[in-house]
């Protein structure tokens, strides 16, 4: 019996890609339900702090977190994190309750 193997990195990328919905390059990626895999991978336990939200956002967007601000949206406390990535600035929304990434969208370039 022959078993094909898939490199773990490719498998993880495929799983994470299937978790979000995107409209194409340069568009927002919305996770429904919010993706808590990034927080789990960093061993972050809820509720998350601003610093932890920045670490989660950096990993999720593939860059360096620059700043974060709290906001209320739909009755939930979120951190809106600005991340610098090789493909340009990104804005990542992270839930304070569990570290779930709600959305990654292009950020302001100013």
Q: What is the CATH classification number for the domain harbouring 58?
A: 3.10.450.40
* pLDDT band at residue 25 under the 50/70/90 scheme: low
Phi, psi of 32 (to 5 degrees): -135, 100
**Residue 3, in any domain of the structure:** no
pLDDT tens profile 86-100: 999 999 999 999 999
Which position has the higher pLDDT, 4 or 25? 25
* Residue 75 within any structural domain of the chain: yes
Domain that includes residue 62, residue range: 8-106
Residue-level pLDDT at 59: 97
R_g of the chain, CA atoms, integer Å: 15
**Greater model confidence, 76 or 19:** 76
In a domain? residue 1:
no
Compute φ and ψ for 70, nearest 5 degrees.
Answer: -85, 150
What pLDDT, on a 0 to 100 scale, did the predictor assign at position 75? 92
Sign for the pseudo-dihedral over CA of 26, 94, 42, 37: negative
In a domain, 62, yes or no: yes
Residue 29 lies in a domain: yes
Number of domains in the chain: 1
Q: Is residue 2 part of a domain?
A: no
What does the pLDDT look like over 38-74, one tens digit per residue? 999 999 989 999 999 999 999 999 999 999 999 998 8
Contacts 24+ apart (CB under 8 A), 12-16: none
């Amino acid at each position: 019996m022959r078993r094909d193997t898939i490199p773990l990195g490719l498998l993880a990328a495929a799983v994470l890609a299937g978790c979000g919905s995107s409209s194409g390059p340069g568009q927002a990626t919305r996770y429904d339900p919010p993706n808590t895999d990034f927080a789990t991978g960093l061993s972050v336990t809820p509720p998350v702090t601003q610093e932890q939200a920045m670490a989660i956002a950096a990993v999720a967007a593939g860059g360096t977190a620059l700043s974060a601000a709290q906001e209320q949206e739909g009755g939930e406390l979120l951190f809106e994190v600005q991340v610098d990535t090789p493909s340009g600035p990104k804005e990542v929304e992270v839930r304070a309750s569990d570290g779930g990434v709600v959305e990654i969208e292009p950020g302001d370039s100013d």
